[in-house]
Structure 1
Amino acid sequence: MAGCLCCPAGTAALALREGKRGLAAGSFHTVAMRPDGAVWGWGRNNLGQVGDGTTADRPMPVNVMVQEGT
């Protein structure tokens, strides 16, 4: 699989350098939280693991809606 859909080695460093507050990574997807609380996800999404309500792969970060209390 091409590097853009899995979690390349530089993903964590790039996310943190851009001001991310938290980072979580699966085998082929990544989710990051910005200091303002906004959550972004990207990568393979065949099971909805990016969290954007779809199953479309996301090679670029997309804003993820987070439900209160989760």
Structure 2
Amino acid sequence: MAEIDPDKTDGSTAELRWPDISLSNGSFSQGSAGDHHIHGRFHGQDHAEAWGIFHANAYVGAFGARRQLQP
């Protein structure tokens, strides 16, 4: 499942979720462009980084992430 919690200008947050995303050749995608859509890809050694775009209702954005190893 992918989940994005954007901070809104009024101080509240929204929850955007995409359950049951399939993974194929290091990329993931669910939904149709303009209608609750997410698309992304894993990169780097051991797929430790991810990036992507999303569009859901009034929210459009991009994201990036890097796995943090536990000491």
Query: TM-score over 0.5 for the alignment?
Result: no
Q: Name the larger-Rg structure.
A: 2
TM-score (normalizing by structure 2): 0.30
Which structure would you say has the larger RCO, counting Cα contacts within 8 Å and 6 or more residues apart? 1
Higher strand share: 2
- Structure holding more helix per residue: 1
TM, length-normalised to structure 1: 0.30
